Amino acid sequence: MEEFINDGDIIELLDTSKNPSPSRVREIIARAGELKGLGPEEAAVLLQVEDPELNDEICSAAHDIKNAIYGNRLVMFAPLYTSNYCSNNCLYCGFRRDNRTLKRVALTNEEIAEEVRILESQGHKRLLMLCGEQKGRKAFDSFIEAIEIAYGTMTDRGGEIRRINVEVAPQDIEGFKRLKQANIGTYVLFQETYHHDTYRIMHPAGQKADYLWRLTAMDRAMEAGIDDVGIGALFGLYDYKFEVLGLLSHAMHLDQKFGVGPHTISVPRLEPALNAPAAIKPPNPVSDADFKRIVAVIRMAVPYTGMILSTRERPEVRREVFKVGISQISAGSRTNPGGYHSGNEGMDDAAQFNLGDTRTLDEVILDISQEGHIPSFCTACYRLGRTGKDFMDLAKPGLIRKFCRTNAIMTYQEYLSDYASEETKRVGEELVRRLIGETKKDGTRKLLEERLARIKNGERDLYI
């Protein structure tokens, strides 16, 4: 498999794009507004901007682009860790094998079902299932079984998991075929750092030490028939400008080779973790202002991709970056296997890293509703086969927006009827009324009103 990240090329691009003129920056901002994306040279220029006024212009353009493609909905999900055993030794992670003080936990099938029931009783419909990386077939078999259990676990009031994305170690093509058969949504995997030397230092042992095996995982996933893949870089390990260009090169590679770019791009930032030297003192810390620009530039360069933000970030940072391009968020998360069952217990001795946002799902929903976003539990595209190229054909010209908005409002109403606290319900119902009023097309408004009435009468899982 060929290597498509060339460190020297990226470094040269960053060197030649330094100190851009304001007119060049504005030219690129205007081009991004055409929603066709940006090349690495153009993205490099935006990353080099220091002037606060120009930076504001970048953020405002990114905000408009996100709204043009996806509207103002934010899709909600929860991570579900099944095991924290790991044979790798990533220097930034609490699950690393040299962390002898971590309490090792692998959930039983009943414990997994219990975690799912708790998440369903909070209102979650989408999961991201993950685990540490363990050698051998047995651990992978258990993970596949865990997916089946999660899909099969139902609770009253229509509680069910409708889409499971997964984040597990890179597989060979056979392994990816098994994930596909297990009906996963997106296969997510972070390269962590695209910079070869830093990668070598950060991953001293185990299968993960192999940069190329990880880099080419998405190629194998797509060859195995998984057509929604999600990439990401762990910000704080190396120069963030390099990582953004690495992510864009990866996106372009997939688009050119398969005609489908990444379904999502994640932007995790290093958080403190138990006995993980690189997390306790990040080698290249990223400031909140730079973090916002990272999100904005990716949004402008790859407008069609979903962008994911996790509870690693504090509420105030989350509010800022939602505005400039994030379209999917986790809420009410735990990073210790069994964490939903045990509440906060175990967070200290079994968790992967510390969280910046520890609010409940309902508190997050209330907050984002008040900020004018539409919380969404939509899983329509995946269930109607709008995945891979079919999804991109709708997302690239901005046509997915009309589905997203209607489905977001319907699933939001389900949440308000079934799970919301009194205050969230009051704020939410007001927002839904306003959204109906703002729906310009008569046909869409009538459809929305009719479906919302059906939901209020007890029907569930309506989507278009």
Residues that bind ligand SAM (CB under 6 A): 92-93, 130, 132-133, 167-169, 189-190, 192, 234, 268, 270-271, 273, 276, 279, 312, 352-353
Query: Which C-beta is closer to ligand SF4: that of 93 or that of 146?
Result: 93
The residues facing 266 across adjacent strands are 232, 308
> Least distance (Å) from ligand SF4 to the CB of residue 352?
6
Residue 234, contacted partner among ligand SF4, ligand SAM, none, CB below 5-8 A by kind: ligand SAM
The answer to whether 450 touches 462, Cβ cutoff 8 Å, is no
Q: Which does 211 bind (CB under 5 to 8 A by kind): ligand SF4, ligand SAM, none?
A: none
Token couple for 423: 């205050």
Residues in contact with ligand SF4 by CB under 6 A are 86, 88, 90, 93, 95-96, 132-133, 208
- Is the Cβ of residue 115 or residue 414 nearer to ligand SF4 in the bound state? 115
* Spatial separation of the C-alpha atoms in residues 404 and 432, rounded to whole Å: 14
Q: Taking the complex as a whole, how short is the minimal distance between the CB of residue 326 and ligand SF4, in angstroms? A: 22
Please state, in angstroms and rounded to a whole number, the distance separating the CA atoms of residues 312 and 273.
11
Closer CB to ligand SF4, residue 95 or residue 322?
95
Which one of ligand SAM, ligand SF4, none interacts with residue 120, CB within 5 to 8 A by kind?
Answer: none
In angstroms, the CA 370 to CA 233 distance is: 30
Considering CB distances under 5 to 8 angstroms, the limit depending on partner class, which of ligand SAM, ligand SF4, none binds residue 230?
Answer: none
* Buried-exposed string 368-384: b where 16+ CB fall within 10 A, e elsewhere: bbeeebbbbbbbbbbee
* Three-state SS at 410: helix
Minimum gap (Å) between residue 423 Cβ and ligand SAM: 31
- Beta carbon nearer to ligand SAM, 89 or 424: 89
Residue 96's binding partner out of ligand SAM, ligand SF4, none, with CB under 5 to 8 Å set by partner kind: ligand SF4
Q: How far is the CB of 281 from ligand SAM (least distance, A)?
A: 11
**For residues 344 and 360, what is the distance between their CA atoms, to the nearest angstrom?**
12
297 contact choice in ligand SF4, ligand SAM, none (CB below 5 to 8 Å, kind-dependent): none
Specify the residue, 168 or 365, whose C-beta has the smaller distance to ligand SAM: 168
3-state secondary structure at position 282: coil
Least separation in angstroms between residue 86's CB and ligand SAM is 6
Nearer to ligand SF4, 225 or 277 (CB): 277
Taking the C-alpha atoms of residue 440 and residue 286, their distance in angstroms, rounded to an integer, is 41
d(CA 445, CA 447): 5
Question: Which lies closer to ligand SAM via its Cβ, residue 4 or residue 190?
Answer: 190
- Nearer CB in complex with ligand SAM: 45/270: 270
Which backbone phi and psi does 346 adopt, to 5 degrees? 90, -15
CA distance 427 to 233: 36
CB of 80 to ligand SAM, least distance (A): 11
Beta carbons within 8 Å of 226's beta carbon, 6+ residues apart: 176, 179, 180, 184, 187
Nearer CB in complex with ligand SAM: 267/395: 267
Residue 88 C-beta: closest distance to ligand SF4, Å: 4
Tell me whether residue 342 is exposed, middle or buried, using C-beta atoms within 10 angstroms of its C-beta: 0 to 12, 13 to 18, 19 or more.
Answer: middle
Residue whose token pair is 């916002």: 292
Q: Of these partners, ligand SAM, ligand SF4, none, which one is at the site of residue 161 (CB under 5 to 8 Å by kind)? A: none
CB of 337 to ligand SF4, least distance (A): 11
Residue 308's beta-bridge partner residues?
Answer: 266, 328
